[in-house]
Structure 1
Amino acid sequence: MSSPQPQMPQAAPAWQAAPGSAPYSGGPGYTSPIPVVRTHLGNAIASEWTKIRSVRSTMWTLGVFVLLVVGIGLLTGIVVSSSSSDLSGENALSLGFFGLLLGSMCIITLGVLTTASEYGTGMIRTTTVACPSRGRVLAAKAVVFFLVAFVVTLVAASLVAFLHVAMLEGNGAKDPSGGEWMKATVGISLYIALLGLLSLLIGSIIRHSAGAITIMIGTVLAPLVIALFMFSESLQGVRDALFEYSIPSQLSVFYANSLNTASQSGPSGWDPLWIILGATAVAFAGAFALLEKRDV
């Protein structure tokens, strides 16, 4: 009986490159049908835009926001215009404050969900695989959310402002100046959008939706509640500071009758915008640093 012949090793498939060799290119003149391009911030922004407009939480939170701002604004205008209230010298735009204060809770919630929800579902792992640059992901989320929040707030605030000026003309309310229009529409919209952006960054830091929302709502309401229980005269300075620098008080500054009231203590004019901008910048730096250090 003859001994079995040794088997010859099979050649490696053409697509399998040997260790240390260049990847298979398909032979001379081969061009891959899949385009290979260098990704940039615009690609990340397009991805985040697809996310934010395709999830139901965006439509619900923004829908409730518009309903609160326009609904409460319209209701307030009807009540005041139908009463015998004399608004001589008063700014008709100031009635929009109430709806925006409540509506800001919706923007805060959406800001937190934009980042924290991805950690809860594990979607953040897919996001970082598609875009390994974590700083780029955070920047793209910030840009998309800020623009969405600003545009929606600007539309709602402007609509309420026009309604109030038209409805309260018979009650003696003065016509707003150009500066007052700017503050009550563009200024307040920038502030609300930055407040939502701050919530987004807190959500990135905390990585827990309920916890981050609780922190942000506490930031809005806690200073006023704490100040109400400071009865001691020795705490008067702290109490006044809590009142003046609380977020509701800063929102009301945008509806002041003048761009700068010298006799007013605390923030005035455009000061609240610079305050929230500084706080957001600090939070962004912290979120970016933690994002680079922690695992997803």
Structure 2
Amino acid sequence: MSTPQPPMPQAAPDWQAAAGSAYPTYTSPIPVVRTHLGHAVASEWTKIRSVRSTMWTLGVFVLLVVGIGLLAALVISANASESDLSGENPLSFGFFGLLIGSMCIITLGVLTTASEYGTGMIRTTMTACPSRGRVLTAKAIVFFLVAFVVTLVSASLVALADVAILDGSRQPSGGEWFKATIGVSLYMALLGLLSLVLGSIIRHSAGAITIMIGVLLAPLVIALFMFSSSLEKVREALFEYSIPNQLSVFYSTSLSESGPSGWDPLWIALGVTAVALGCAFALLEKRDV
């Protein structure tokens, strides 16, 4: 009975043989690509469009903005005479839908960052892209563009429909059209971006959403219940700088006679968001994932 022979070692592949001492400058045949911000943006775009919560949240947002905006215009058209509408800006009725729909943008902004901390997926993200600042930057870019485009489309549809429905009202100027579409879309995108940044800082979805809804509604509600004359200046400040009042400025229908006007709400939102984003970057480098 013959003794089984051990298997003969297979010849090394050419690329392994090339790694011998005769080829000291060997490089791996696997292509190595130096990653950059574009790769992180592509990754975040894949995430945000493949998650069901994005479709549901943005779907509800569009429904609220378009539905409430059209409903307000239809009710006014059915109950007001042409003389009542003669000096009315038809674009202003888009305010109601955007105010309620802003809660959807806030929710989506928080979920874009905080949900990954809740599920632990952030560890995988940071392993694939160790540059934490790049990850947060990519999330901010993708979300801002998505929020801006969706708001712009919704606000434009409402504006066009309301002008057609309220045919007895005055025709808006070019500046009013620009503020009621581009301007308000930038403001809403910044509001959502602030929510995203807060989600990165808090790292808790429910907590961050609650804080942002408080920022949205609390100043106006508190101001309405300040009856004391000694608190009049505080009440006016809360009312003037509340988000609903700042949002109304884009429709030339400010809820207060003083306070922000023109493009002031956009600069305020930009400044607050920039400061919050700086804090988020600083904390991201100091804390563990």
Q: Does 1:102 align with 2:100?
A: yes
Q: Counterpart of 1:11?
A: none
CA-atom RMSD in angstroms:
2.1
Where does residue 266 of structure 2 map in the other structure?
273
1:80 is the counterpart of 2:73: no
Aligned positions of 1:107-146 closer than 5 A: 107-146=105-144
- TM (norm. structure 2) is 0.90
- 1:164-221 per-residue CA deviation (whole Å, 9 max, x = no partner) reads 0010013xx1100000000000000000000000000000000000000000000000
Partners of 2:28 and 2:206 lie apart in 1 by 47
**Which one of the candidate residues 269, 280, 288 is aligned to 1:287?**
280
Distance between the aligned counterparts of 1:274 and 1:100, measured in 2? Answer: 19
Structure 1 segments of 4+ aligned residues over 3 angstroms from their partners = 23-33
CA shift for structure 1 position 26: 4.0
Question: Does 2:165 align with 1:159?
Answer: no
Name 1:191's counterpart in structure 2. 187
Q: In the TM superposition, what is the alpha-carbon distance from 1:78 to its structure 2 partner?
A: 1.3
Structure 2 Cα separation of the partners of residues 250 and 24 of structure 1: 70
Could you tell me how far apart the structure 2 residues matched to 1:50 and 1:292 are? 25
SS in 2 for 1:169: coil
Amino acid in the other structure paired with 1:266: G
Residues 251, 36 of structure 1: alpha-carbon distance in 2 compared, 3 angstrom cutoff: same
Cα displacement (A) at 1:235: 0.6
Map of 1:232 onto structure 2:
228
Q: 1:80 to 1:33 in 2, by over 3 A?
A: farther
Please give the alpha-carbon distance, in whole angstroms, between the structure 2 residues aligned to 1:24 and 1:222: 71
Match status 1:213 vs 2:220: no
CA 48–24 in structure 1, closer or farther in 2 if over 3 Å, else same: farther
SS of 2:85 mapped into structure 1 = coil
Q: Structure 2 stretches of 5 or more lacking a match? A: 1-11
Kindly state the Cα deviation for residue 84 of structure 1 after the two structures are TM-superposed. 2.6
Structure 2 distance, partners of 1:77, 1:267, is 26
Aligned mates of 1:140, 1:33 — CA distance in 2: 30
C-alpha distance after superposition, 1:113-144 (max 9, x if no partner): 00000000000000000000000000000000
Kindly report which structure 2 residues correspond to 1:25-36, keeping only aligned pairs within 5 A, or say none: 26-27=19-20, 28=23, 32-36=28-32
Q: CA deviation at 1:257?
A: 6.3
Q: Indicate which of 252, 258, 266 corresponds to 1:256.
A: 252
* In 1: Cα distance, 2:202 partner to 2:166 partner: 45
Deviation at 1:229, TM superposition (A): 1.7
1:33 and 1:251 map into 2 onto residues whose CA distance is 56
Distance (whole Å) between structure 2 residues aligned to residue 123 and residue 257 of structure 1:
44
Structure 2 residue matching 1:230: 3-state secondary structure: coil
TM-score (norm 1): 0.87
Q: What is the CA deviation profile of residues 247-279 of structure 1, one whole-angstrom value per residue up to 9, with x for unaligned ones? A: 000000000069xxxx94100000000000000
The one-character-per-residue Cα deviations of 1:81-102 (angstroms, maximum 9, x if unpaired) are 1223411211110000000000
Gaps of 5+ in 1: 1-13, 16-22
Distance 2:183 2:95 in 1: 13
Structure 1 211/278 Cα, relative in aligned 2: closer, same or farther at 3 Å? same
Q: Does the 8 Å contact 1:180/1:257 carry over to 2?
A: no
Aligned-residue offset at 1:24: 9.7
Matched residue, 1:7: none
| 1:247 counterpart residue number | 243
SS at match of 1:272: helix
Corresponding pairs, count: 271
Deviates more, 1:224-233 or 1:281-290: 224-233
Shift, 1:33, TM fit: 4.2
CA 1:291–1:167 in structure 2 vs 1: closer, same or farther (change >3 Å)? same
Distance 1:245 1:24 in 2: 72
Provide closer, same or farther for how the CA distance between residues 25 and 156 of structure 1 changes in structure 2, counting only shifts above 3 A: farther
- 1:176 paired with 2:169, answer no
Q: In structure 1, what residue type is equivalent to 2:167?
A: E
- Tell me the equivalent position of 1:4: none
Contact 1:109 1:213 in 2 (8 A): yes
